[in-house]
Structure 1
Amino acid sequence: MFVESVGRWVAWGILLQVGLGVSAGSCPPRCSCRLETKEVICSGKHLNSIPEGFPGDAKHVDLSYNKIRTVGRRQFSGLHELQDLDLSDNMISMIEVEAFQGLQNLRTLRIKNNRLKILPVGVFSGLSGLRFLDLSQNEILVFLDYTFRETVNLQTLDAEENDLVFISQRAFFGLQSLQELNINRSNLTSIPTEALSQLQSLTYLRMLRLTVSTLPNNAFRRLHRLRTLILANWPSLDTVAGNSLIGLNLTALVISSCNLSAVPYSALRHLSYLRFLDLSYNPITVIQGHLLRDLLRLQELHLAGGNLLRIVPGAFKGLASLRMLNLTSNQLTTLEESTLHSVGNLQVLRLDGNPLSCDCRLLWVVRRRLRLNFDGRQPTCSSPDTVRQREFRDFSEKELPRVFTCRPARILDRRPQEARVEDGTTVLFSCKADGDPAPSVTWISSHRNVVSPAGRIRVLPNGTLEVRFAQVHDSGTYQCLAGNAAGNDSITVGLYVKGGSRNRTIPFFTEEDWLEPPIPQATNSSAQLAKPYPFDAKTLIIATTMGFLSFLSSVAICFIFMFFWSQSKGQIKHTATIDFVPRSSMGGGGDGGDGGRFTMKLI
């Protein structure tokens, strides 16, 4: 059959060349026809409309790069064997309903880079065999209900770079076979959740350059077959709800070039099948410890181009399958071995583009420099000055113990500190430490709890312990721990608080002292005590105002009570008539005297 078909096309070509029995419409004017592949090439021929005279058995028609403005109804009727139609890069602003009717064998339709603003319902009527549809780079504003109803076998829909402001809830109705959807650079301000829920066979979803600020809960419900989700270049996205990705069985997730200030741990904890995670180019500053342990199958983690300052020890604990960690172009000064505890299968580590401090904390990386893959980009030292700009591969094994060193933490002032005070007094205990790298200072309270930087008992930024308005139950010993990668040091201080009289005035502090009390100079006393202050003007004004408001409230309540009480007594009479008998002027008993009457009026 194939040989016979080729023979017929060859014979048709020969007849065309010699001008024997060939109809003038066998190949459209200004187009070229390739007999062996059954292609009609009309690309870049300055056509203003779709030509006529296509061969009836043509399988591929290319009308791209012309000036076509309209596609009429049943424009391609008769091309029952057509499989590929390209209308890209024209000026098409109108496609009539049933424009492609009769093309039941069409597999690929490209209408890229035209001027379409709306797609009438029924425009894709008859395309039951369509597999790929490219509508990118148009001006489409909305996808109406049932727009794609008859494209039941469509597998890929590319709708990138349109002006979409709305996708109707049933716009994707009928796309039960769609596997890939691309939406890029649209004006959508929310996730079209209801519309997407129609795509229950979707495996790949890419949404780029949207103006969405929040990823809400259940944003992608019913997409149980979705495996790859790409959300990139959303500059307003700063919130990812904890259940936004629930129900998904993703293997690849990209949320990059957004405005996330922290890793969305809650949203990620459901994704136990995830293998690829990219959170690059977000203003994330810290990776917390032990919060990614649910990603048991994760193999690649990308956190490039962020604001990472610190990775807490144990941050990647439990990621036993991790093969690649990309931390390039952040603000990291080190990467301690404890952060990658239990990640023994790591093969690729990207640390380039960070201001790395080459001390003992990075010694474990340098020692693996020959077998650890840096993906062709060697990390470089930023400090100390003696090795600035040197790449890890340049160090010899001999100089490693000499260069990559640390100085253990040491508390400078180890003199005993003990305070015996009455309750209500504020006490300060000093704990200054030195070391390389700079040690961290931690205070342990008398109840064996870590003291936080906030609260009545707190640690100040300079490492000083502050106990404000000391109470009896604050008594006990407090321990200061200073530590770095090279070692630890500690001291113990004592606080003993005696209960005072009940009418004792508790001192008030000025606003500046409340926020950051000054540290007194060292004296011969066993502890540093902050002097109490008397009431200031602000305190008196506040107290007076509160008292005055309380007085007015009491008066108002009394008036309201009197008003309702008087209403309950019924109508009040405003006049009264009084009868009386005047006493005799001679002092008699008044027998037979005339009485009198007068009326009183209540004003």
Structure 2
Amino acid sequence: MVAGRNTPIPSLHLEPRLFIMCVGVLMRALCSCCPTPCECPSPCECPARDNSTLCRRRFLSIVPSDLPTFSQILDLSHNYIRAVPSNAFTHLKYLQELDLSYNQLSRVEPGLFSSLPALRVLLLHHNELKLLPPGIFLGMPALSWLDVRRNQLVILLDQTFQGLRELKHLETGENPLLFVSPGAFLTLPQLQRLGLEDTKLNGVPSSALAALPRLSELRLGGISSSVLRDLSFPDLPLLRVLELDSWPSLGLLEPHSLSGLNLSSFSVTHGNLTTIPEEALKAQIYLRTLDLSYNPISELPARGFGTLRRLEELRLSSGRLHYVPSGAFYGLGRLRTLDLSDNPLTWLAEDALPSPLGGLETLLLSNTMLSCDCRLCWLLHRRLRFGGKSPVCAAPDSLRGMVIPDDPEKLCPDLFTCQPPRIVNPGPRELTVREGDVLTISCHSLGVPQPSIQWVLPQSPPLEDTTVRRVTILPDDALQFHPVQAEDSGAYLCTASNVVGNDSTWVHLEVVPYNGSNVPSSVMAVNGRLLVVITAGGILPFISSVTLCFIFMFLWSRGRGNIKHTAHIDYVPRGNRASTDTEDNKFTMKLL
């Protein structure tokens, strides 16, 4: 029978007590599937919008037992958790991110992560883990990010990361790692980013790295070796970013140390490089970013970066560069940023930077003290942005401390000028001294920029700022003889020069040869005292030894008891005239 339009629909009437009982049964059934599906652990927060359970900084010492089943994000960081039971997370089937960082974990229980099929991010950094047993990460097939930095790991064993075939980002740095087993990364075919910085390894773990064919970024540091050996990174065709930072002893990159790589970014910072590794960099023609900051690099070779024609950013800050020579950055037509900050720079050669037609936009010169003279005008006319802190004038004295602005107006040529050298206070030009004296000849000059001093000895090549036998150039450019000898007689030329000219002066030296009549009385007095000391030094030991012998003889004789001072000796005289009287055949001998 089909009900008509006006046919009444029968209604269902339930008693109130029966309705409440049905709702209670339904809620109990739901709770049987989840320990607390709608409740949040008392010390935590559980925002419903993203199914997260936030227990950060709650002074927890254990993991709460009533974690919501449907949690997708669980944050237990910055607590005091020392251990986690193996069944603490077994009911969290939907968990995607687990943060246990900044706790006091010293070990991971076997099977702790075996029931987290949806987990993608696991953070265990800043704990006290000493060992990661092989297979400890089994049960997380979807994991893509693992961070175990800042623990106490000393070794990575074979199969440590077994089962993490989807892992793309691994952080293991800042651990006292001494050894990485060749098979440590064998089961990570998808790994793209690896951090191994601030370790204690003896060298690059080349064998272990060769198992990562998709690796594109590698950070490596803290290694004790001073040399980066040839072929250190084999079988890494996709590696594009290589950072060798905080490697204090690294002083040499062998010519083929980067062979087989096509890098776009390369950095060696906080190392011990004293020169640009030209040979190692020569083949990196696709390099776009190069950072060699915080190395004691004191000199830039001409055209040292000539093959890096795609380079866009070059950083050489915190080195020991005193000047930038001509052609230092030749060929870098695409360079956009050049960082020379925190170097003891005084000037840059006019043709040191790439051609003005290039793309250089920012020149960082923070904390540099430049010589503000005409040599700097060309740089100001390039209208580059200094960025950060602008450089400051170190010379001349009238401009010392002035901040150099980007705008060159009213600076060149009104303030930034050059003056030719002028030797001042030349002193006596004719000198007569005795052989054996210590002599210092000064040569002071003024000019902008500060002139350089060069001395020319008679019938000798120019004397540089080094010690040549007894003759030395002091820090104030004075010429010192220590001591003067007869062959030093002659004419000495002092030359002061800078970019706009030079000045010179002659000094004629006459040395009076040494002889007895010229020996000063003070020297004779010193020799007389020396003779007395030597004589006394020879006589006194002799007298002391003789006296000591007599003392020992006296003591020995006194220890023998009564001593006879005379002895009566009988004797028989030769011949027939011998007397029969025995008294006549005796004599008395004194004993000493």
Give TM class, smaller chain.
0.5 to 0.7
2:347 is aligned to 334
2:231 is aligned to 218
- CA shift, 1:115, in A, is 1.6
1:511 is aligned to none
Q: 2:183, 2:208 within 8 Å by CA — same for their partners in 1? A: yes
In structure 1, what residue type is equivalent to 2:318? G
- Counterpart Cα distance in 1 of 2:275 and 2:298: 7
In structure 1, what residue type is equivalent to 2:317? A
How do 1:70-149 and structure 2 match up within 5 A? 70-73=83-86, 75-149=88-162
**Equivalent of 2:412, from 392, 400, 405?**
400
Q: 1:366, 1:392 within 8 Å by CA — same for their partners in 2? A: no
- CA shift, 1:23, in A, is 3.2
- CA shift, 1:39, in A, is 2.1
| Secondary structure of the corresponding residue to residue 348 of structure 2 | coil
1:559 is aligned to none
- CA shift, 1:20, in A, is 7.2
| Secondary structure of the corresponding residue to residue 351 of structure 2 | helix
1:514 is aligned to none
- Counterpart Cα distance in 1 of 2:55 and 2:415: 69
How do 1:114-263 and structure 2 match up within 5 A? 114-263=127-276
- CA shift, 1:333, in A, is 0.9
Cα distance change of structure 1 residues 248 and 488 upon mapping to structure 2, 3 Å threshold = farther
- CA shift, 1:292, in A, is 0.9
Q: 2:41, 2:67 within 8 Å by CA — same for their partners in 1? A: no
For structure 1, list consecutive stretches of 5 or more residues without a partner in the other structure. Answer: 1-14, 412-431, 444-449, 455-459, 465-480, 491-518, 524-603
**Match status 1:310 vs 2:323:** yes
- CA shift, 1:155, in A, is 0.9
Cα distance change of structure 1 residues 488 and 37 upon mapping to structure 2, 3 Å threshold = same
**C-alpha distance after superposition, 1:292-325 (max 9, x if no partner):** 1001111111111111013221011111111111
| Secondary structure of the corresponding residue to residue 266 of structure 1 | helix
**Match status 1:346 vs 2:360:** yes
**Equivalent of 2:309, from 292, 296, 309?**
296
In structure 1, what residue type is equivalent to 2:256? N
**Match status 1:278 vs 2:305:** no
- Counterpart Cα distance in 1 of 2:222 and 2:216: 20
- CA shift, 1:209, in A, is 4.1
1:386 is aligned to 398
**Equivalent of 2:31, from 23, 27, 41?**
23
- Counterpart Cα distance in 2 of 1:161 and 1:366: 44
In structure 1, what residue type is equivalent to 2:349? E
Q: 2:381, 2:408 within 8 Å by CA — same for their partners in 1? A: no
- CA shift, 1:350, in A, is 1.8
Q: 2:153, 2:177 within 8 Å by CA — same for their partners in 1? A: yes
Q: 1:142, 1:167 within 8 Å by CA — same for their partners in 2? A: yes
1:359 is aligned to 373
Cα distance change of structure 1 residues 21 and 349 upon mapping to structure 2, 3 Å threshold = same
In structure 2, what residue type is equivalent to 1:285? S
**C-alpha distance after superposition, 1:21-54 (max 9, x if no partner):** 6638214743554444222334444444444444
- CA shift, 1:64, in A, is 2.6
- Counterpart Cα distance in 2 of 1:145 and 1:131: 20
Higher mean Cα deviation, 348-357 or 129-138?
Answer: 348-357
1:69 is aligned to 82
- Counterpart Cα distance in 2 of 1:398 and 1:161: 52
Higher mean Cα deviation, 28-37 or 268-277?
Answer: 28-37
- Counterpart Cα distance in 2 of 1:399 and 1:103: 68
- CA shift, 1:133, in A, is 0.6
How do 1:397-546 and structure 2 match up within 5 A? 397-398=409-410, 400-407=412-419, 436-437=448-449, 438=451, 484-486=498-500, 521=508
Q: 1:254, 1:277 within 8 Å by CA — same for their partners in 2? A: yes
**Match status 1:372 vs 2:352:** no
Cα distance change of structure 1 residues 224 and 434 upon mapping to structure 2, 3 Å threshold = farther
Q: 2:454, 2:464 within 8 Å by CA — same for their partners in 1? A: no
Q: 1:261, 1:285 within 8 Å by CA — same for their partners in 2? A: yes
2:439 is aligned to none
- Counterpart Cα distance in 1 of 2:163 and 2:408: 68
- CA shift, 1:147, in A, is 0.7
- CA shift, 1:130, in A, is 0.5
In structure 2, what residue type is equivalent to 1:486? V
TM-score by length of 2: 0.65
Cα distance change of structure 1 residues 240 and 451 upon mapping to structure 2, 3 Å threshold = farther
Higher mean Cα deviation, 35-44 or 219-228?
Answer: 35-44
**C-alpha distance after superposition, 1:323-351 (max 9, x if no partner):** 11111111111112111143532111122
| Secondary structure of the corresponding residue to residue 364 of structure 1 | helix
In structure 1, what residue type is equivalent to 2:181? S
- CA shift, 1:76, in A, is 2.6
Q: 2:201, 2:222 within 8 Å by CA — same for their partners in 1? A: no
- CA shift, 1:95, in A, is 1.4
In structure 2, what residue type is equivalent to 1:383? A
Q: 1:328, 1:354 within 8 Å by CA — same for their partners in 2? A: yes
In structure 1, what residue type is equivalent to 2:374? C
- CA shift, 1:74, in A, is 5.4
Cα distance change of structure 1 residues 482 and 299 upon mapping to structure 2, 3 Å threshold = farther
| Secondary structure of the corresponding residue to residue 405 of structure 2 | helix
| Secondary structure of the corresponding residue to residue 363 of structure 1 | helix
For structure 2, list consecutive stretches of 5 or more residues without a partner in the other structure. Answer: 1-22, 424-443, 457-461, 467-471, 480-494, 511-592
| Secondary structure of the corresponding residue to residue 222 of structure 1 | coil
Cα distance change of structure 1 residues 329 and 129 upon mapping to structure 2, 3 Å threshold = same
In structure 2, what residue type is equivalent to 1:106? L
- CA shift, 1:487, in A, is 6.3
Q: How many residues align structurally?
A: 441
- CA shift, 1:439, in A, is 5.9
Q: 1:226, 1:250 within 8 Å by CA — same for their partners in 2? A: yes
**C-alpha distance after superposition, 1:526-566 (max 9, x if no partner):** xxxxxxxxxxxxxxxxxxxxxxxxxxxxxxxxxxxxxxxxx
Q: 1:217, 1:242 within 8 Å by CA — same for their partners in 2? A: yes
Q: 1:74, 1:101 within 8 Å by CA — same for their partners in 2? A: no
In structure 2, what residue type is equivalent to 1:352? S
- Counterpart Cα distance in 2 of 1:109 and 1:131: 9
TM-score by length of 1: 0.64
Q: 1:186, 1:209 within 8 Å by CA — same for their partners in 2? A: yes
Percentage of matched positions with identical amino acids: 38
